[in-house]
Amino acid sequence: MSIQVAVNGYGTIGKRVADAVALQPDMELIGVGKTRPNHEAELAIENGYPLYAAIEDRIDLFDEAGLELAGTVEEMVEAADIVVDACPSGIGADNKSLYEAHDTPALYQGGEDADLVDVSFNARGNFDEATSADHVRVVSCNTTGLSRLLAPLQEEYGVEKARVTLVRRGGDPAQTGRGPINDILPNPVSLPSHHGPDVNTIFPDLAIDTLGLKVPATLMHTHSVNVTLESTPDADAVRELLDEQTRTFLIPEGAGIDGAGALKEFAMDRGRPRADIWENCIWSESVSMEGSDLYLFQAIHQESDVVPENVDAIRAVLGTADAAESIERTNETMEIGF
Ligand code: NAD
């Protein structure tokens, strides 16, 4: 019997996770939860995903919009083996008691606090730790991107200290109210930013300092990375190591990809759904060694890199596959890897 998965919150992350779950041979998407009958609710119906109302008082609004409901989110949670909560930051915490009341294990997203859950999760970093946990947080887009990079470096060379400056997009393309619109903000202005401590929820002993900025861009984040290694490989060896990883894409030298705009064009040209880029995009030419110091630039597509991680977290929690099997199955079904 396939894993019965519910997705509560069908926005930027939720709709992508729903599509990825629907592709999995060992999973069935039993429905998605929505608060209101907007264009995304219509999309769920068009995709054949049963639609459940998150707020009972608003059921009439769905009727008036001509959108058929399969029931309430509470009924969906009761029927599910696991629920993926993809509600806005903080709402996941509000929903926790609902999932507990129905004894349904839940995945939350990176906008929730780490102390809401038993385990924070990254498939490459700590897959096994999520097994049998009831409440698991798939870490944020930036922490996912850093974990995927730091895991192989730590295993292969040892990490003495990581220092990362995160140049973050002001908002997603559809977030018209976000900014800055014409500025470059140290954000947060005090150090370290929350990203380093968040990486420590995956690798508790890793020494890492992070600084954050926000810029008037919507497409992707860019990380400027310096990792002091415990050994001194040459840059080619590091490139090879990163190239062997399945969720890191080394942008080839000479590809003419100079930034997030070209990366998104690249993804569109290759027929990626929503121009999603699930992989860390590391500029091959930027990978440099100065003594034991590694330097590189990577771009992270904030709307999609956590999607395969959610799929893997489902199998990790329910113990239906080990890390290698799950990552391979997710990669194959989603066609991850350029
Ligand atoms: P979003 O606003 O695009 O989507 C959230 C959806 O949940 C919306 O459709 C909203 O109507 C719905 N919703 C609100 N309250 C609800 C409730 N009580 N029950 C059911 N649905 C409800 O938000 P998002 O960008 O998808 O973010 C979701 C989570 O993922 C947050 O924790 C965020 O921090 C995290 N995250 C976001 C990004 C990103 O770049 N967008 C990246 C990684 C992680």
Q: Mean pLDDT, consecutive 10-residue segments, the chain of 338 residues?
A: 97 98 98 96 97 95 96 98 98 98 98 98 98 98 98 98 98 96 97 97 98 98 98 98 98 97 98 98 98 98 98 98 98 97
Quote the radius of gyration of the chain (alpha carbons, Å). 20
Residue labelled with tokens 């590694």: 294
Residue 58 in tokens: 């608003």
From the CA of 9, how far away is ligand 1's center (Å)? 6
Residue 101 neighbours by CB under 8 Å, 6+ apart? none
In 3D space, the residue among 218, 239, 214, 84 whose CA is nearest the CA of residue 156 turns out to be: 239
Q: Among residues 197, 49, 179, which one has the least CA distance to residue 110? A: 197
Nearest CA owner, ligand 1 atom 14: 87
Cα 38 to ligand 1 centre (Å): 14
How much is the pLDDT for 135? 98
- Residue 94 has a CB neighbour count (10 Å cut-off) of 10
71-72 and 51-53 as β-strands: parallel, antiparallel, unpaired?
Answer: parallel
Ligand 1 atom closest to Cα of 14? 26
DSSP three-state, residue 164: strand
For 87, 96, 144, 309, the CA distances from 301, given in Å and listed in that order, are 19, 28, 11, 13
The Å distance, Cα 92 to ligand 1 centre, comes to: 9
Active-site position among 86, 123, 141, 282: 141
Q: At what angle do helices 12-22 and 307-318 cross, to 10 degrees?
A: 60
| Distance of CA 8 from the midpoint of ligand 1 (Å) | 9
Residue 89 Cα: closest atom of ligand 1: 32
Where do we find the tokens 């592709």? 23
Tell me the C-alpha distance between 259 and 320, whole Å.
39
Q: What is the reported pLDDT for 1?
A: 85
Active site residue 141: yes
For residues 76 and 8, the answer to whether their CB atoms sit within 8 Å is yes
Ligand 1 atom, smallest distance to 306 CA: 43
Pocket-forming residues, ligand 1, beta carbon under 6 Å: 8-14, 33, 35, 40, 54, 86-89, 91, 109-112, 140-141, 172, 302-303, 306
Q: Rounded to an integer, what is the distance from CA 290 to the centroid of its chain?
A: 31
CA dist., res. 42 & res. 124, Å (int): 35
Is 173 strand, coil or helix?
coil
Atom of ligand 1 nearest to the CA of 8: 20
Amino acid at 320: T
Is 52:71 a contact under the CB 8 Å cutoff? Answer: yes
Q: Which two tokens stand for residue 330?
A: 């997710």
Does the CA dihedral 202-204-205-207 come out positive or negative? positive
Look at the block and give the residue holding tokens 């470096």: 153
